[in-house]
Amino acid sequence: MATAAAAEAAESQQSNAKPGLRKPVFTKVDQLKPGTGGHTLVVKVLSSNTVSQKGRSASQHLRQTRIAECLVGDETGTILFTARNDQVDLMKPGTTIILRNAKIDMFKGSMRLAVDKWGRVEVTEPAQFVVKEDNNLSLVEYELVNVVEE
């Protein structure tokens, strides 16, 4: 009788315990498709260009919005990454970055990689791969086609 109560107590403890963290599944650049999200990538920053810097310097409660387009890549290809605000400071050419929970945004028919407030951009130790620069996925233009079923 005591063993049944102990087993029941142990079972209730396990059901209340938080699930363990999952190991991240790393995606390669050439596997990215339009409209997808939740990607974790390890990429090298090839270039970073500030696109816009908006905001009012007169008011302190409004933050300046900084946006930079950064060419990032791995051994399978490259793609443009849209960095916002604090992310811009991390995107220095030659740096290896881990992008967690990244998503694909479409801009003028081409793919852009972005990390919103639910994702994370972090600098990591230099990667050992050579970036394949001749496969830029942001240069591929996509067109939305409506399929009519009969």
Q: Taking all residues of the chain, what is their mean pLDDT, rounded to a whole number?
A: 82
Cβ partners under 8 Å of residue 50, min gap 6: 66, 67, 68, 88
* Tokens (6 digits) for 122: 């972090």
pLDDT band for position 61 (50/70/90)? low
* Mean pLDDT (whole number) for 104-115: 91
* Mean pLDDT (whole number) for 78-104: 91
| Dist. CA 32–CA 29, nearest whole Å | 6
Domain ranges of the chain: 29-53+65-135
pTM, entire model: 0.74
Task: Evaluate if residue 72 carries a pLDDT over 90.
Answer: yes
Task: Evaluate if residue 141 carries a pLDDT over 80.
Answer: yes
Contact 115, 121 (CB under 8 A): yes
Q: Is 78 exposed, middle or buried (0-12, 13-18, 19+ CB in 10 A)?
A: buried
29-53+65-135 is a CATH 1.10.1060.10 domain: no
* Mean pLDDT (whole number) for 91-109: 91
Give the closest residue to 85 by CA, choosing from 108, 107, 62. Answer: 62
